[in-house]
Structure 1
Amino acid sequence: MQMETFHWKKNQQLSEDYIAGKDAAKALFPYHFGREEDWQARVSWLDGAAGSPRVDRKRLVDTLHAYNLRVGNSGAAMRHIDALGDAQTLAIVGGQQAGLFGGELLVLYKAITILQLAREWSHKLQRTVVPIFWIAGEDHDFDEVNHINVLSNTQHIEKLKVDHPTGLRTSVSRLPLSAEAWEEALNKLDSALMDTEFKASLIANLRSATEDGATLSDAFARWMAMLFGEYGLVLIDADEPGVRALESSMFEMIIDQNESFAGALLRSQSDVSGAGYGIQAEIQEDGANLFTFAEGQRLLLHRESNYFADKKNLIRFSKDDLRDLATRKPERLSNNVMSRPLMQEFLFPVLATVLGPGEIAYWALTKQAFEHFHMRMPIVAPRLEFTLIEGTIKKQMDKYDFTINDVLERFDEKKQAWLDAQDTLRLNDRFDEVKESFRSSYAPLVESLSAINPGVKKLGDTNLAKILEQIDYLHHKANEASHTQFDAAIRQLERIRLTIFPLAKPQERVYNGCAYLNRYGNAWLHSLIETPIPVDGLHRIYHL
């Protein structure tokens, strides 16, 4: 496996500084992933945190068993679930929304990071550390997860998507898709992918994942089980009714202490802004940090005096009513980005949580909320990042002398420089010389016309500008004609850019993994899982 590290600056300064170990950012978290003694300190805290609210482990094991069996997870995953019944077992947890056909490549990389850390710390601690992937099926932003991007053979980024089945703003996990909708999406993907030896089995596996009126969450979980189940990755869907039942008592605490919970979040927000960082998620003083399901929708709650209501006042609860809902019908409640970290800590003995740059920035807002509920934020570990470079792309980069930095920072400039170097006729220089020669001989003549008549001088100025404009026009057309000789080269250069920096974003945030699984099978994915890779916050270029 050929791989090289590369520093790709994060789009969040707080995350960038946290990964680099800068004091201002580190102070916003109780531990730092780069210090081994912090990992040991986290283990000690988990072992001794008797006052921290925790779910009953047997109920957790039973619930995870039922869900993972339903989505077809492996025996290795089931053994890991059983291990969670032991008080000595710890967990590495990370998650993502349930994207179509697995979502973007970064989802795969997050799962790989979870598996890497679980294996590493199981070995170092000589106790079981279980890898857990949290599927955010409760999220209601359907348009964020209903599509994938693939790079077509004609060098266009194609967006393949499924339509919302109802139009109601509710959790993705509560929106079954019809067999016809799934078949249409699979046919589009089939058409977009080149024919390879792996294609038939890939499409067949995806078709299996989407059977029986699957929601995006169902299909996502089945697909993740196919890709990572053999490595023991345990799956949990946040919107499973069984999971909601486990969360009941934590919902009650959040409701009972809602004002002080919001106050703790505001104090952490002040700490983050005081350290000089922007705020990733705005905290509302009257925010309940909970959703409820009503009127077929997922509605965000806020406090109004002694009541909880949505912004449109479609529903309204007293605190007692909402507490009663948490006790009797917890499936009607749902976490937001601020309460989810606390719920994760309530459910699992989290040694570390695996987060992307944006997530690291908003988790910084929860430090004091953890402490308020007698918890402690786990170690925050940055997910692994990769850019996949195929052999043909590497050859083209070498041919045109392009580096990753060239693609990211100066692509157009470098491309133009290469084209200019092919200009054996010296068109740019010769046209510039003609313009200068014409201007130097014609401009004085025009200037002298003012002695005859100012109107003639003005006409001369206009005439000079038009002639120069026509010279520029011919220059442009000559360059276009010259560049047609290099159409193949231009296509190759554009392919480099579309591979590494599509839509001016990292590859892992745009493309879906199916195109790479189709071209290369699963071997590259298994290699990333099985080869020890340090979780250090660096970006890696992986040569396929």
Structure 2
Amino acid sequence: MQKHSLSYRETNYFSSLINDYIEEKENVKQFYHRYPVIDNFKEQIDEKGRSFNTSDGKNREILVQSLEKQYSQLEVSEETHKNINLLKEDNTFTVTTGHQLNLFTGPLYFLYKIVSVINLAKELKAKNPENNFVPVYWMASEDHDFEEISFFNLHGKKFQWNPPASEEAGGAVGELTNAGLENVFELFSAEIGNSTNANQLKEWFKKAYLENDNLADATRYLANELFKDYGLVIIDANDRDLKQLFVPFMKQELLEQTSYNTTRSKMEALEKEGFSVQVNPREINLFYLDKGLRERIIEKDGEYFVHEKKISWTIEELLKLLENEPEKFSPNVIMRPLYQEVILPNLCYIGGGGELAYWFELKEYFQKVEIPFPVLLLRNSALLQTEKQDEKRKKLNISLPELFLKNHELINRKVRQISNINIDFTPQKEHLVKQFQELYDLADQTEKSFLGAVKAQEVKQLKGLENLEQRLLKAQKRKLQDEVSRIADLQNELFPNKSLQERQSNFSEFYLEYGNDLIPTLIQNLKPLELKFDILSL
């Protein structure tokens, strides 16, 4: 097994905001609290401890009781059981990642997220042995974007879940029944065959989705099976007791529209720096949640109602409902981070680039409600390749950074390198530009009206050189068709659908090949605080 690493900027797949954050550029320092280096966690531990350990253990007690209920139907490993109990102690803290309830984990980076929290918890324990650190996977069970989670890709094929029309998600996806997944299981089973590794995958799928009643229970089962040996704790925050702890913040949101009023300045600051805003807050960032329903709460002229539904309240009625039935309120993407930090003794949130982008809007919101803002860490990213694929890359003389170029850019570069003729007209173009500069000077001194004619002729001749260069390049590609095909084939294998492998492929594709060695290999090689993109040759 070999490991190589690139900077995230070298891959050309990450936004300028994320690259600037990783490189600690001055223009992004206003959007985060502490940079993710190991020495900064000591202050984060002290700050979070002072904030979280002020309720006579109430929050910790409720958290552990809720987790015990959620795990009551699962086979809990000794490591996970130990970590749940450790959450009762004031010196125990969490490292958290969150993810949607994607079918059979969805894209490969689901594994990378969880490996990141497991490995960071280990690093923190080694640096701070007087404390305990628990890796947490937050199931996004209250989301309701069914289209995003209803499929996974394997061997270039899309395995799509098509539930009966009566079962489609209208409310929280975690409550969606698993009806219709028998068909996916049959297609999946036929695709992967009957090897030892294939049979393990089929067992996981069957027990998760065909022997559990809903998507949340299925996802909990599968994530637990994959990571229970590492003490991963899985939390479903769609829980009445946990939401009871969040009532004061939801009340403040309804009365003062706190999140909306505090995030706008950071949004403006992001735009001023030339970055895109990831999420636009609404005036009230809470949903009303009921069976088959998750829809936003709106205030107008002192009346509160559910968007496009005939459900409304006075403010007194709404606050009473909040106190009595907090489970009927669901934070949206703007408030969910605060909910997480209120109910968990959390130090760090690990997420993808898009997730960190919306966290960057929230620092002032956290300051307003006096909850410590966590350390933000980009999850590990990796490209998995076989040793055979790496040998192909070397024979084709493709460097690792070149591997991440767009397909046409890579092929054009390689064709130019291996051709026995020079198909780069840059010197000719530069010479032409110099010649026309003399014509511009002449026209300026004699008849300025000719400047436009000179410019038109320059554009025409440069375009002619460009066309000639492209025609020669195209002809050379035909001549070198074998090399071109091998370059394209390799890149298409490693970048399915011209995207990062981790955003397209499902873990089952690699488990079929590497079996029980897959996750330990990732655990051994992915180091979250290195902040590098890894290429692993398995």
Instruction: Provide the TM-score with structure 1 as the length reference.
Output: 0.81
Are 1:77 and 2:80 counterparts? yes
Name 1:507's counterpart in structure 2: 501
What is the CA deviation profile of residues 180-224 of structure 1, one whole-angstrom value per residue up to 9, with x for unaligned ones?
x22211222223336544111221122111133433332221111
Residue 241 of structure 1: how far off its partner (Å): 4.4
Are 1:190 and 2:192 counterparts? no
3-state SS of 1:535 partner: helix
Amino acid at match of 2:202: I
Residue 261 of structure 1: how far off its partner (Å): 3.2
Name 1:233's counterpart in structure 2: 232
What is the CA deviation profile of residues 447-493 of structure 1, one whole-angstrom value per residue up to 9, with x for unaligned ones?
xxxxxxxxxxxxxxxxxxxxxxxxxx9x999997x788x4xx76654
Q: 1:245 to 1:259 in 2, by over 3 A?
A: closer
Are 1:349 and 2:345 counterparts? yes
Are 1:142 and 2:146 counterparts? yes
Name 2:4's counterpart in structure 1: 4
Residue 43 of structure 1: how far off its partner (Å): 1.3
Are 1:374 and 2:370 counterparts? yes
| Structure 1 counterpart of 2:49, from 40, 47, 50 | 47
Native 8 Å contact 2:260 2:284 kept in 1: yes
| Structure 1 counterpart of 2:106, from 90, 103, 110 | 103
What is the CA deviation profile of residues 205-249 of structure 1, one whole-angstrom value per residue up to 9, with x for unaligned ones?
221111334333322211110111110000012324454445444
Amino acid at match of 2:85: D
Amino acid at match of 2:161: V
Q: 1:239 to 1:422 in 2, by over 3 A?
A: same
Native 8 Å contact 2:197 2:515 kept in 1: yes
Amino acid at match of 1:48: R
Rounded to whole Å, the distance in 2 between the matches of 1:266 and 1:214 is 41
Residue 537 of structure 1: how far off its partner (Å): 2.3
Amino acid at match of 1:192: E
| Structure 2 counterpart of 1:259, from 252, 257, 260 | 257
What is the CA deviation profile of residues 268-324 of structure 1, one whole-angstrom value per residue up to 9, with x for unaligned ones?
32333344422111123xx21111124732102232232333332432233222222
| Structure 1 counterpart of 2:298, from 302, 305, 309 | 302
Moved more, 312-321 or 239-248: 239-248
Q: 1:295 to 1:190 in 2, by over 3 A?
A: closer
Residue 146 of structure 1: how far off its partner (Å): 0.7
Rounded to whole Å, the distance in 2 between the matches of 1:510 and 1:413 is 22
Name 2:319's counterpart in structure 1: 323
Note the 1:89-488 alignment, pairs <5 A: 89-126=92-129, 127-151=131-155, 157-165=156-164, 166-178=167-179, 181-193=180-192, 196-256=195-255, 258-284=256-282, 287-294=283-290, 296-415=292-411, 486=482
Residue 110 of structure 1: how far off its partner (Å): 0.4
Residue 23 of structure 1: how far off its partner (Å): 1.5
Native 8 Å contact 1:150 1:158 kept in 2: yes
Q: 1:530 to 1:422 in 2, by over 3 A?
A: closer
Native 8 Å contact 1:60 1:246 kept in 2: no
Native 8 Å contact 1:196 1:519 kept in 2: no
Residue 410 of structure 1: how far off its partner (Å): 4.8
Residue 499 of structure 1: how far off its partner (Å): 3.0
Instruction: Provide the TM-score with structure 2 as the length reference.
Output: 0.82
What is the root-mean-square deviation in Å for CA atoms of aligned residues?
A: 3.0
Rounded to whole Å, the distance in 2 between the matches of 1:161 and 1:322 is 39
Native 8 Å contact 1:55 1:346 kept in 2: no
Are 1:520 and 2:514 counterparts? yes
Q: 1:476 to 1:398 in 2, by over 3 A?
A: closer
3-state SS of 1:522 partner: helix
Q: 1:35 to 1:227 in 2, by over 3 A?
A: closer
What is the CA deviation profile of residues 335-364 of structure 1, one whole-angstrom value per residue up to 9, with x for unaligned ones?
111111111111111111112111111001
Moved more, 236-245 or 204-213: 236-245
Q: 1:69 to 1:494 in 2, by over 3 A?
A: farther
Residue 66 of structure 1: how far off its partner (Å): 1.4
3-state SS of 1:282 partner: coil
Rounded to whole Å, the distance in 1 between the matches of 2:259 and 2:409 is 52
Q: 1:95 to 1:326 in 2, by over 3 A?
A: same
Amino acid at match of 2:366: F
Native 8 Å contact 1:5 1:539 kept in 2: yes
Moved more, 38-47 or 81-90: 38-47
Rounded to whole Å, the distance in 2 between the matches of 1:48 and 1:244 is 22
Native 8 Å contact 2:143 2:172 kept in 1: yes
Rounded to whole Å, the distance in 2 between the matches of 1:58 and 1:316 is 35
Native 8 Å contact 1:289 1:302 kept in 2: no
Native 8 Å contact 1:12 1:361 kept in 2: no
Residue 59 of structure 1: how far off its partner (Å): 1.3
Rounded to whole Å, the distance in 2 between the matches of 1:110 and 1:224 is 12
Percent identity over the alignment is: 23
Rounded to whole Å, the distance in 2 between the matches of 1:267 and 1:479 is 52
Q: Give the length in aligned residue pairs.
A: 483
3-state SS of 2:219 partner: helix
Moved more, 103-112 or 274-283: 274-283
Q: 1:538 to 1:23 in 2, by over 3 A?
A: same
Amino acid at match of 1:85: K
Native 8 Å contact 2:163 2:181 kept in 1: no
Rounded to whole Å, the distance in 2 between the matches of 1:271 and 1:55 is 38
Native 8 Å contact 2:267 2:361 kept in 1: yes
Amino acid at match of 2:206: R
Residue 15 of structure 1: how far off its partner (Å): 1.9
Rounded to whole Å, the distance in 2 between the matches of 1:145 and 1:34 is 33
Q: 1:530 to 1:262 in 2, by over 3 A?
A: same
Q: Is the radius of gyration larger for structure 1 or structure 2? A: 1
Listed as ranges, the gaps of 5+ residues in structure 2 are 424-470
Name 1:467's counterpart in structure 2: none
Residue 109 of structure 1: how far off its partner (Å): 0.3
| Structure 1 counterpart of 2:22, from 19, 27, 34 | 19
Amino acid at match of 1:270: E
Residue 534 of structure 1: how far off its partner (Å): 4.5
Native 8 Å contact 2:79 2:231 kept in 1: yes
Amino acid at match of 1:11: F
Rounded to whole Å, the distance in 1 between the matches of 2:75 and 2:38 is 37
Rounded to whole Å, the distance in 1 between the matches of 2:83 and 2:303 is 42
Rounded to whole Å, the distance in 1 between the matches of 2:147 and 2:237 is 19
Native 8 Å contact 2:144 2:169 kept in 1: no
Native 8 Å contact 1:353 1:379 kept in 2: yes
Native 8 Å contact 2:348 2:377 kept in 1: yes
Rounded to whole Å, the distance in 2 between the matches of 1:294 and 1:76 is 35
Native 8 Å contact 2:379 2:528 kept in 1: no
Name 2:466's counterpart in structure 1: none
Moved more, 96-105 or 54-63: 54-63
Q: 1:103 to 1:252 in 2, by over 3 A?
A: same
3-state SS of 2:529 partner: coil
Rounded to whole Å, the distance in 2 between the matches of 1:403 and 1:191 is 38
